[in-house]
Amino acid sequence: MNVYCIIPTYNEEAFIAQTLQSLVQQTVVPNKIVVVNDNSTDKTAEIVSVFEEKHPFITQVFNKSENKHLPGSKVINAFYRGFETIDDNYDIIVKLDADLILPTNYFERIIETFNQNVQIGMVGGFAYIEQNGEWILENLTDKDHIRGAFKAYRKACFKQIGGLKKAMGWDTVDELLCKYYQWQIITLPDLKVKHLKPTGATYNKAARYKQGQAFYRLGYGFLITAVASLKLALRKQKPLLFIDYLVGYFKAKQSKTTLLVTPEQAQFIRKYRWKKIKEKLF
């Protein structure tokens, strides 16, 4: 299976070399790696160029966007800048962050898993962060969710869900639409990805409001948003984020922000979310 990787990158001089080194050392090396330099002002370009010269399957392209790091739109706009440069001969498309160290068998295991069942639409591992010299699970999401930092999509699934949404919540709506279209999502606990920079480390207050807006745009409704907001705030060990999320939700509702899904998909999503909540409670 042909594997194409796209890596949106912004000021990652501290990490990008480790990420690319972990990619070129894979037991199954991706067919193409496109690094999208999204208006970096540090030495990211020079570091990527060194890898580009040594490895013909690595390409650096440049994108211009605001330096402000709002989650969702910036990274997905950069992703599509890279996507424009690839051909259609991929079987698996992978969106990666630029601050990861992948286990050497990452793509070998991904391909093996996709080959097990044609209904498998997405595959990924788990994120680990370093604390006190040890790598521990970055426990921000459920075990059946693939982190946006390292998502692998089967081509047919990627196209049916409409690709990636240019908004915060893209890495949740993609999985919900996979469920809607009856694709399977597989997480592999043995694939331990080292996440070198904590999630949301550079997000400001406006970005936190966008999380609440994302819940609205997913069609959650208030009650599911409240549950999801409280859960996420507690997992981040910052209870006051709960308020920011709800403020973002009501701002989106008041302004009648466009949903990321159709009414039918939103209805499916609410039923699915309530089912998951009831399973955990009972």
Strands of 64-119, DSSP E: 92-96, 100-101
pLDDT tens for residues 170-191? 999 999 999 999 999 999 999 9
Q: What is the dihedral of CA 214, 160, 182, 210, to 10 degrees?
A: -10
* CATH pick for 3-195 out of 3.90.550.10, 3.30.540.10, 2.60.40.10, 3.40.50.300: 3.90.550.10
Record the tokens describing residue 273, joined without a space.
């979310």
> Is the pLDDT reported for residue 202 higher than 60?
no
Give the pLDDT score at 80: 96
pLDDT tens for residues 269-281? 999 999 988 887 7
Residue 247, judged by CB atoms within 10 A of its CB (0-12, 13-18, 19+), counts as middle
Record the tokens describing residue 258, joined without a space.
């466009």
| Cβ-based neighbour number of residue 41 at 10 Å | 10
> Is the pLDDT reported for residue 19 higher than 60?
yes
Q: What is the dihedral of CA 196, 40, 86, 113, to 10 degrees?
A: 10
- Residue whose C-alpha is closest to residue 220's, from 255, 197, 249: 249
Alpha carbon distance 100, 194 (integer Å): 6
Give the pLDDT score at 227: 93
Domain ranges of the chain: 3-195, 205-277
Give the pLDDT score at 170: 93
